[in-house]
Structure 1
């Protein structure tokens, strides 16, 4: 049997507690958009380089940039993966907050663990992103 419906003050309290995770979720969504944009640029550059004919002696040297682009793409892929893991765990934090208020269940430890998981995933994503940016900026390719 379901407990009594939560009062307006209980729901207001849960909504105020969900504000910080909601802001983090918005930040993660914007960060994922940046990562996908960078991934698209890497893919476009790889397609361009792969279309260079081996007979084109002037631009053929540009193909030496392909292994670096593959490393960058792998790092961005990992960053996207970890950002999505963080987004999913933050979404679960928000859902758990409302469900626990509805069923009057203690949820503090579970929410804290999920929040830690989310922030840790975000940190891992940021580290991969920083590594990718470092490669992109330290080993300039030669555009042809």
Structure 2
């Protein structure tokens, strides 16, 4: 049974990622999956820093730095000095970044709606509860 669970979870995550990527690309947005993920995290995390993004995503700091530079070069991200830690910068979405994320979120919501089609609210709630337990198990909580 565990093989079925592993395969199902892997395929679900992979298919969601691919479907979201296609939905973003179909809307003509110039982003890859990690760009969209970074922008989403920055948008939803108050006083966001590169170190927080590295910790949250499990990616190395060099990769995060490259992604942030790309987003900044696209005009989607702004940086300012952290008021209490001069070695750090606070990240926020630019006006263009906010507008782009509104479109990305619509694309991702469409994929989510397709994925949840035919499921009851109770089924979704049960899945979320079980997935959270599994995630906590893997994270050692």
Structure number with higher relative contact order (C-alpha < 8 Å, ≥ 6 residues apart): 1
- Same fold judged by TM-score > 0.5? no
Q: TM-score, normalised on structure 2?
A: 0.29
Please tell me whether Structure 1 or Structure 2 has the larger radius of gyration of its CA atoms: 1
Higher strand share: 2
Q: TM-score, normalised on structure 1?
A: 0.28
